[in-house]
Amino acid sequence: MADDCFAHPRLAALYDVLDPDRGDLAAYLRIAEESGARRVLDIGCGTGVFALLLAGRGIDVVGVDPALASLEVARAKQDGARVRWIHGDATGLPPLQVDLATMTANVAQAIAAPAAWEGTLRGAYEALRPGGHLVFETRDPAGRAWEEWTREHSYRVTEVPAVGPVESWVELVEVSGPLVTFRWTYGFAADGQVLTSDSTLRFREREEVEQDLIERGYVVDEVRDAPDRPGREFVFLARRP
């Protein structure tokens, strides 16, 4: 099940406006260039920002996401027809042979259930050609990122074209071992509607992720620092032998 911030049509339509800075994607573009990827699977593609960046560079892209509302936003974008969009997740993909599979931003951590995580790694492995790479990021638990997830740090009002002012903020709900749950709240000034979206992320240790990859048949080629969040995230580059 996708979180409401991706699955609710009114919230999915706001996603790109409320989170316009996608400088984090530059590192993934560089990895695609380094690897010479011509076919890419974007797991958890959301509203299609990264998939369309790749397609604009002439790369054949498949984007998969469980949130239909987000996929509808992606399809409606300029050049949306250049990407093959799949409603679902990596555990039920059609036969593919891609050079690179990606999970950008919070995608890997949002796959919180162990069975779903295992199924995602297996599905990505099967979609990769021999020698193809899986690349994703996850926050270092030692950074305790959730301590900044407060209304005080996140409250803002965004003027959204054709919608009007939208208030938004995040609040921490619960920390239970490696699972961190938080709630986004959105207030629409035009009609007074207030919507909320709860999300849970799993904060995995570096050694845990490496072991998960190895057990699923991958070779871990490298673990990099995230250039947009130095010292706070791990970027894993794994390969299907």
Integer Cα distance of 14 and 47 in angstroms: 10
Q: Which residues of the chain have pLDDT under 50?
A: none
Q: What is the pLDDT of residue 237?
A: 98
Q: Quick one: pLDDT at residue 49?
A: 98
Predicted local distance difference test score (pLDDT) of residue 227: 86
pLDDT value of position 228: 85
pLDDT of residue 157: 98
pLDDT of residue 51: 98
pLDDT for 28: 97
Q: What is the pLDDT of residue 229?
A: 87
